[in-house]
Structure 1
Amino acid sequence: MEHSSLNETESLNGTFSSGQIGVEETIKKSSGFSLFMDLLSGACVPDNLWRDRMFRVKYAVRTLLHPLDTLKVLNKMASEPVWQEAFSIQTKLPSKIHKPYLHLGLPSAGRADALVDHYEFVKSLENVQMRNTFLSEKGNTVTQFTGKDGEAFRVVLGSIGKSEREGEANMFLYMEDTLLAALTFSIVQRPEGPTMIVGGFQGAHRSTPHEVIKQATKSCYGLFPKRLLLESLQRVAAETGVQRILAVSDTGHVFRSLRYRHRKKNVFVASYNEFWDSISATPYSPALYDVPLELPRKPMEEIASKKRSEYRKRYTLLDELHESTASLLKS
């Protein structure tokens, strides 16, 4: 899987099926209602799922249950190019508010607000390349660093269309071409300012040999992959003006809802709570943790002398990670 670096980003121009209403025509739609009618009739077909008549019927019924919230999203999609770029990747975007989204307990109005907030935030980014990265289907490299044995690590940010129930943006940590960790988030508006909500955070796929994880951790002086990915996320937050980071708890993940509880019961192989507790996050609500914007570092004088060399190397690697992220995001 290839990813360009941030300064190689180009704006996406998603394409729809031949013979159907395309991107430019959809942008020019006068209202969300006309877009709704095109989706319902099959005149607008973002992907094959929308060709399924039963899917469209279910979408219509759910829209009748949440008409104002659905139209709030569709009106944005009908009038703003940033939404159409997102729609070319997130083809279920019109229906996201109809199902559990981001975290447990969020009503349809909250889901609509979260979607609007995220894309308003993306649209407001002054760095055009950064804005396009948030809409990139392939993703762009926002962090690069080297392990102690020469392994190449990188973090990729984009809108890959994965884990769509958990948010709009995806981040992935790779060692060479091996995926080590992934998270999904959206950025919403809170009284304190822009707030990241991490809706999902996973380690390596279960098929990844445990020896690979051990090698990656050893190469990073004992820093686990999820910790490294979180550090990169925190730098993205700092560089984009995010004021707070919230993250789902074990009980707050959308797959804990009645809708998904049985189908997704094997998804959780590690505890969210244990990880958040390990990095000094604090409970914010039953569904969310409050994650520090910057993780504290233990002072050298509090570290046993025999371990200080390892910790210095660890902190040097983290500094390299931070500098790389800041540099790539500003380029």
Structure 2
Amino acid sequence: MNQLITLRCGLRSELSGLALLRESMKLSARAMLHRRQTGRWLELLNSHPLFRQMLPACPRLVNKIYRSYFSTRLGCDDRLAVLQAHYQTVIQRGLAPLVARAAEGPVELCRLDGKTGQEYRIELRAGGVLCREGELILQLAHGDQVLYSIAFSFLHHFGAVAVGVGCLQGKHGGGGLDQVRDATRELHGMRPKNLLVRLVRQFGHDHGCAQMILVGNANRVVTTSMKQGKVHADYDALWLELDAARQPDGDFSLACEHLPEPDMAQIASKKRSEARKRHEMLANAIAAMRAQVVRSQRAATPLRLVSIRATAPSGVSAPLLQLG
């Protein structure tokens, strides 16, 4: 029988001595403060083999309900609800084998051929990077460089499953802007950030989502970096540029839809050839991503759902809470 996932699994392996004791006490205090939510979260983490497979690469998974996650509007109950909705959708939609692989390292979903022969890749990662802003990360890569990333999770929105986008960012460091410009030219005039948003919209549509919820500037969780002037992206402007609708809570919404055919009548004649090539590139990428999901579902042994119930009156079993 597999070992249970407990709070101790959320402690960093490199800690020892007083540092380990201090982190253990902090984690115990958070668990006691949020005892009911902790019980429900640990029950979910022990309900499916996916979480045990993810844990070595994503040790912070255990602590996620205690820390700012996805949007500053979310309290502990809300964070738990988002995470429950995400992983329940992943499991129900047969995505668990793919997510388990993506937690161990980037999974190539498709390749994009640039107009001069440059090759780009769309890769999926899970849990390790941008872990405060989404559970799944879609990345545009070229060679050994990641040019752009988008972090997203499944969540419930007005009773239906939606895709929530918590982060959209380019490469840090020198040369990033030039590489993004080169990629835009190679990808038939499609900017990397627009490409990733379009692919996530399609991914959401393919997995039963009608809406995409886009976190606005005021609700981003990277508050410290924003105060220090390290974050310059204007999400509100980008979402409006994509024709997203502003919501009263400061976030934005955009329909998840199947890739529409380009309206050539609205495109200048000299740009129609590039528009057709851009649409063909997107259609091929979407088909390849779908095929990768199907291959992952067929190749892996179906993961068995095992229900593990907490037994303590408070809803948290002593073995799950134990740190020592």
**TM-score, structure 1 length as denominator?**
0.79
Q: Compared with structure 1, are the counterparts of its residues 56 and 129 closer, same or farther at alpha carbon in structure 2 (3 Å cutoff)? A: closer
Q: Cα–Cα, structure 1 residues 75 and 322, in superposed 2: closer, same or farther, change >3 Å?
A: closer
Give the residue type in structure 2 aligned to 1:138. G
User: What stretches of structure 2 of length at least 5 have no aligned partner?
Assistant: 296-324
Alpha-carbon distance change, 127 to 24 in structure 1, aligned in 2, over 3 angstroms: same
| 1:187 equivalent among 154, 157, 165 | 154
CA distance in 1, matches of 2:288, 2:195: 13
1-structure distance, mates of 2:131, 2:203: 20
Note the aligned Cα RMSD (angstroms): 2.5
Stretch deviating more after TM superposition (239-248 or 270-279): 239-248
**Distance in structure 2 (CA, Å) of the matches to 1:111 and 1:144:** 34
Shift of 1:131: 5.0
Residue 87 of structure 1, CA deviation:
2.5
Report the residue type matching 2:294 in the other structure: K
- Between the aligned partners of 1:113 and 1:102, the Cα distance in structure 2 is 12
For 1:322 and 1:180, the matched residues in 2 are separated by 19
Matches within 5 A, 1:275-314: 275-294=238-257, 299-314=263-278
> Match for 2:4 among 26, 29, 50?
26
Query: What amino acid is aligned across from residue 80 of structure 1 in structure 2?
Result: H
* Higher RCO (CA < 8 A, seq sep 6+): 2
What amino acid is the match of 1:211? D
2:228 counterpart residue number = 265
The change in CA–CA distance for 1:286 and 1:207 in structure 2 (over 3 A counts) is farther
State the match for 1:233 in structure 2: 200
Cα offset for 1:178? 2.1
Equivalent residue letter for 2:196: L
Report the CA distance shift for 1:113/1:213 in structure 2 as closer, same or farther (over 3 A): same
Identify the residue that residue 251 of structure 1 maps to in structure 2: 218
Shift in Å, 1:227:
1.0
Partners in 2 of 1:306 and 1:155 — Cα distance? 29
* 2:65 equivalent to 1:87: no
Deviates more, 1:86-95 or 1:295-304: 295-304
Provide closer, same or farther for how the CA distance between residues 313 and 240 of structure 1 changes in structure 2, counting only shifts above 3 A.
Answer: same
Q: Pick from 189, 203, 215: which aligns with 2:182?
A: 215
User: Number of residues paired by the alignment?
Assistant: 292
| Structure 1 residue matching 2:110: 3-state secondary structure | strand
Residue deviations 1:192-250 (CA, integer Å, cap 9, x gap) = 52211111110122323432222111111211011111222123223322232111111
What is the TM-score with the length of structure 2 in the denominator? Answer: 0.81
Q: Taking every aligned residue pair, what percent have the same amino acid on both sides?
A: 25
1:159 equivalenced with 2:126 (yes/no) = yes
